[in-house]
Amino acid sequence: MSPVRPREGSPIHNQLRVLRAERGMSRAALAEAVEVHPQTIGAIERGDYFPSLDLAFRICEVFGLPVEAVFSRRPFAPLSAQVYNRKEQP
C-alpha cells in the first residue's frame, strides 16, 4: 500500500503536537499506542503524510476525542488566541 500524501490545496491540519504535549506523551509512545513507526507520527504532525481513516480513529481513541477535534481542513486557532480573546462572562 502506498502512503497517503497531501493533495495540493487540500491540507489536513492536526493537533497531534499540542495533544501530545498536554499529556506529556512522546511521538514514540503515541506511535506504540497506535501501532505505527514514530516517524509516521512526525510526518503526520508536519503535514507530510495523511493518516488513513483507520489510523485517524486509532489516534483519536488514544486522546479520547472526536476526529474533528484532532484533524481539520482549516487551521486550528492557537490556544493562546482561544484563551486570551475569549470574553469573560460574569
Cell numbers standing for residue 63: 486522546
pLDDT for res 79: 64
Domains of the chain: total: 1
Judge whether 16 lies within some domain.
Answer: yes
pLDDT for res 51: 95
What length does the chain have? 90
Judge whether 9 lies within some domain.
Answer: yes
Judge whether 90 lies within some domain.
Answer: no
pLDDT for res 59: 98
Judge whether 53 lies within some domain.
Answer: yes
Q: How far apart are CA 57 and CA 53, in angstroms?
A: 6
User: What residues make up the domain containing 27?
Assistant: 1-70
Judge whether 27 lies within some domain.
Answer: yes
Judge whether 76 lies within some domain.
Answer: no
- Indicate which CATH number applies to the domain containing 42: 1.10.260.40
Q: Which of 1, 15, 11, 16 is nearest to 76 (CA)?
A: 15
Judge whether 23 lies within some domain.
Answer: yes
pTM: 0.77
Query: pLDDT tens digits, residue range 3-20?
Result: 556 566 678 999 999 999
Q: Which residues of the chain have pLDDT under 70?
A: 1-9, 79-83, 85-90
